[in-house]
Structure 1
């Protein structure tokens, strides 16, 4: 029977082709254990939690997390994107559940000169105090056969963290330094004068985050602080800070079978961005938000009613215009109802909205090839109506499907830049080959459909799938830039041979995207360049298949192999920027 199971699993993986390994995980999707309640996806790395918590979370925290659980799609670019992965967070393959060891060191090497060094070390100073460090490094030599100029990249993150478990709550603090050193190699419209042109960009980021989670929801629920300082090769500087305080009073008894929670969220966020080239834009944004809400429960069904009151203060200036100021108060409705007909069928719907401060640091995570001179404008979701259904079928199949409609002001998109200097010059700056992007904004509406599911057909097999459909209708822009109509992801994780062999699979399917593009030619009369813009250029869709395998030779030693973009297509996420083709990386991992 066991052999039949193994054959079935391998046949399942084979139907999708060969595939994934450590996708660029910006948010961790924790593995759902069949024997327990599903866990909420966390921003913080899983390694910053200690397994030894005996009484955490308390019952009211479990209830709160269960209600807020949403199976949202993790929108991450595949590892085969030339913006190399950070190789952090959890592997796509399952963790060894027996004798789990959080301390490890691994090294790997592959084609395209890819080199990986990855480590996590932690230990207890006392029974309730843990400290640790994370180190991640990844480099690649780039597409030497495709480009005469440099397209190599290397990036690293070095961090330290501490967890303290007190009688009343849990403290966490982490700090890290990260750099990303790469090139603006996506030149498609202009032939460079020589192959040794300097296309370098380097981004440095220092972050400090802290959090306190109170075990009881009496008055204080939790406090979170996030901050970073960012600089780049062209003198850009950005400071960001966010303070979030959640106050609450939970478990009011309204009637015998009805209880209520009262919550008040307080959020302060500030970002100051200053650029040193071209128009030398300066952006200062500050927001203060109060979020009162009341939630009424009856069994697993509930009704939540609340509002967001936001005050926005922003300033923008550059070297060509006077400073513009904006102070505005916003109100956003917030309500949600969930009807739990059964564990298998829970129907929900609601309305929400809010402000999002667009920052240079966050936009670089989506598109590293931005020009170091942006106008940063907050995005306002005026309202967002949604409805859906989710459920858990016998703890073997979990799903969430929903649809929504939003009215959005200053929706953010990426836009291809033209040449900044139309003169013919041999010492052109690295960002001045029509190879960078800016951030543009427009008002409009957005219709979305999302689906996410996980299944556990066998004891050691987890299968997941996600779908995201989004369609914008904009007021001014002729096209919707770099927003695919459909995104689909499929995955599987399997453990076999008495949990010594871990297999992982991930596939991404993305439809065509639209961009603008330029034809650049010489002007013999003016001794310069002239450009012709096309506003409906198609950037082709792609299928990206990835596979991982790890074999545990000894409890402290294992070998692994990763295969990425195994179809070998050098597709483009952004116009001009081919990703690496089929990639293979192998290495060793030492756990202790």
Structure 2
């Protein structure tokens, strides 16, 4: 397989010289796990978009967007994490900022057997219709020197999308298929009797999404539909669908220079999850939410008041029994923003809501879950917050806020014990104390968040973010896999007339806590089964993850790039037993057309 990869790279390099197609490019992410749902905001940034886009958004949309502008922290794991989706979770390579287009093909290779192929193409079939497709593949041979068993992984995603512009609004539709093929390699408590283990887990996901944005906020504002079907190696399946309609009446006069917006959100969300091993659990959740609100504006200041009314129907079944829940929820919603100036905007408010925890969403966060989960929604009963944000001469943007929440059924990950204690059993790949479960508890959460972006000199962008998170729970003695503090800082710089692009990104994460298991034979002389002892306060060390990148445009249609991930060469663990790759260097080429 490695020989084939080298041959593919050499074959590609030999054909680059004959490419003479034009135009500079938009630097697309090297990421395979990038969320490729081609939402309208992403499409608007493309120079290849159709003419109708020049008149969008209307003034009322611009006002709405500017007043609600937030610089949220990108809550992603480090780019160098061992899991392929986390290796590629955020692009640290710089982007060309002008005269770009989306059509490109990229090929790269690096240590740890990392091989990637990445392509995107789009174009107009009519003046108001744009269609496109993209495809991505990444593989790694894993940590062969650290584990005697298989730890390789590969991931792919292919999708198609269309953007249709009309006189009254624009449509966005996409469909994609993705798979993630990896191993439960994080065995720490039990030495396998053989190294020839089948630790395979494979997740398939097919998604279809649609979005319509109505230019006028008179009655209809927008409609969004999301859906996916998921299956895995152990027979699990999950169907998810969400439909959201936003109705509105905007910019009607109330008194003198005070205007108001009236909005009504209607949301239907359903998920059906079925597991085929262990307890053979099934989880059905349906949530219907109405969200009326009224917002009063005076200049750049506003006052919002509303509520969320939710009805939840849920049913969980397993070998151990059934449970049902039909419940009505009310959540307060209010926010005030005082715009003293563009540089200083003070805000505060209260909100809350329900979040349906799904197998698909939890796998995105932790791929090493057991394929048999109890799924329950998380209720944020109330969340008080206050903060300050601003834009200083378009050279410095910031948003700092603090909040306090009352949370029911807050979701956490806990390590699993052995499922079969028989010493001589033919053990399944997930039965080495190497998987995790989803657990829930009630409590309170105090948070402090900050995010900033600065442009100190031309061609230089500096960004930083922090997140402090302190739980106090009713039942769990420890807060599992929620670090107290996260911090990231990065920069992007272009030089040599934007031919050379440099990038830097560093993550700091404090210790996390997990439970763990020590496994031993009950009778060391005549062993018949295993005995396990649980620790409830195992520390998973914090880390510093340093990443650098560079890209050079040799020709307007051809560039070379290099990425350095986890350059401090720390094989830390995001989840107990699962070391990430050490220092990585990936190099490659890209052509555009």
Verify same fold: TM over 0.5.
yes
The separation in 2 between residues aligned to 1:569 and 1:41, in whole angstroms, is 39
Change (3 A) 1:510 1:46: farther
How has the CA–CA distance of structure 1 residues 23 and 108 changed in structure 2, closer, same or farther, with 3 Å as cutoff? Answer: closer
Give 3-state SS (helix, strand or coil) of 1:476's partner.
coil
Residue matched to 2:109: 109
Q: How does 1:156-305 map to 2 (within 5 A)?
A: 156-305=156-305
Following superposition, the deviation at residue 67 of structure 1 comes to: 1.7
Shift of 1:50: 2.5
Cα pair distance change 1:186/1:440, threshold 3 Å: same
Q: Which residue of 2 aligns with 1:557?
A: 558
* Distance in 2 separating the partners of 1:385 and 1:93: 37
| Other-structure match for 1:365 | 364
Mapped partners of 2:281, 2:48: distance in 1? 40
In structure 2, the residue matched to 1:581 is 582
Give the superposition deviation at 1:97.
3.1
2:79–2:90 contact (8 Å) kept in structure 1: no
Matched, 1:97 2:97: yes
- Which residue does 2:341 correspond to in 1? 342
Deviation at 1:320, TM superposition (A): 2.2
Taking only aligned residues, the RMSD between alpha carbons, in angstroms, comes to 2.0
Using the TM superposition, give the Cα deviation of residue 114 of structure 1 relative to its aligned residue in structure 2, in angstroms: 0.1
Q: Cα deviations across residues 352-403 of structure 1 (Å, max 9, x unaligned)? A: 0000000000000000000000000000000000000001111100000000
Match of 1:123 in 2: 123
Q: Unaligned stretches of 5+ in structure 2?
A: 1-28
| 1:567-578 equivalent positions in 2, closer than 5 A | 567-578=568-579
Displacement of 1:299 in angstroms is 0.3
User: C-alpha deviations, 1:228-251, integer Å up to 9, x for none?
Assistant: 000000000000000000000000
2 CA distance for matches of 1:208 and 1:246?
20
Q: How far apart in 2 are the matches of 1:88 and 1:541? A: 20
Matches within 5 A, 1:391-470: 391-425=390-424, 427-470=426-469
Q: Distance in 1 between matches of 2:44 and 2:73?
A: 18
Query: In 1, distance between residues paired with 2:573 and 2:44?
Result: 29
- TM-score, length-scaled by structure 2: 0.92
- Answer yes or no: is the 8 Å Cα contact 1:193–1:426 preserved in 2: no
Query: Structure 1: where are the runs of 5+ without partners?
Result: 1-20, 31-39
- Residues 158 and 23 of structure 1: is their aligned pair in 2 closer, same or farther, counting only changes over 3 Å? closer
Match of 1:377 in 2: 376
Give secondary structure in 1 for the equivalent of 2:363: helix
Rounded to whole Å, the distance in 2 between the matches of 1:378 and 1:44 is 33
2:153 maps to what in 1?
A: 153
Pairs aligned (count)? 561
Contact 1:415 1:437 in 2 (8 A): yes
Give the 3 Å change call, closer, same or farther, for CA 260–89 of structure 1 in structure 2.
Answer: farther
Cα distance change of structure 1 residues 24 and 179 upon mapping to structure 2, 3 Å threshold: closer
Distance of 2:223 and 2:35 partners within structure 1: 20
| TM-aligned CA deviation for residue 68 of structure 1 | 1.8
Offset of 1:255 from its aligned partner? 1.8
CA deviations over 1:442-461 (Å, ceiling 9, x no partner): 00000000000000001100
Rounded to whole Å, the distance in 2 between the matches of 1:279 and 1:115 is 38
Q: 1:49 to 1:271 in 2, by over 3 A?
A: farther
TM-aligned CA distance change 1:100 to 1:23, over 3 Å: closer
Distance in 1 (CA, whole Å) between partners of 2:125 and 2:57 is: 23
Between the aligned partners of 1:184 and 1:45, the Cα distance in structure 2 is 40
Instruction: Output the CA distance in 2 between the equivalents of 1:313 and 1:410.
Output: 15
Equivalent pair of 2:46/2:101 in contact (CA under 8 Å): no
The structure-2 alpha-carbon separation of the partners of 1:530 and 1:90, relative to structure 1 and needing over 3 Å to count, comes to: closer
* 1:349 to partner: Cα distance: 0.1
Aligned to 1:328: 327
TM-score normalised according to structure 1 size: 0.92
Is this contact kept in 2: 1:88–1:136, CA < 8 A? no
Which secondary structure does the structure 2 equivalent of 1:63 belong to? Answer: helix
**SS of residue paired to 1:351:** strand
| Segment of structure 1 superposing worse, 42-51 or 111-120 | 42-51
CA distance in 2, matches of 1:468, 1:25: 23
Of 62-71 and 235-244, the range deviating more from structure 2: 62-71
> In the alignment, is the contact (CA less than 8 A) between 1:87 and 1:136 conserved in 2?
no
Q: Compute the displacement of 1:208 (Å).
A: 0.2
- State the alpha-carbon separation in 1 of the partners of residues 486 and 463 from structure 2: 14
Shift of 1:41: 11
Shift, 1:22, TM fit: 5.1
Offset at residue 520 of structure 1 (A): 0.3
Q: Verify the 8 A CA contact 2:48 2:123 in the aligned structure 1.
A: no
Instruction: Give the drift of 1:172.
Output: 0.5
* Residues 94, 564 of structure 1: alpha-carbon distance in 2 compared, 3 angstrom cutoff: closer
| Secondary structure, counterpart of 2:64 in structure 1 | helix
Change (3 A) 1:208 1:156: same
Please state how far the C-alpha of 1:143 moved relative to its aligned partner.
Answer: 0.1
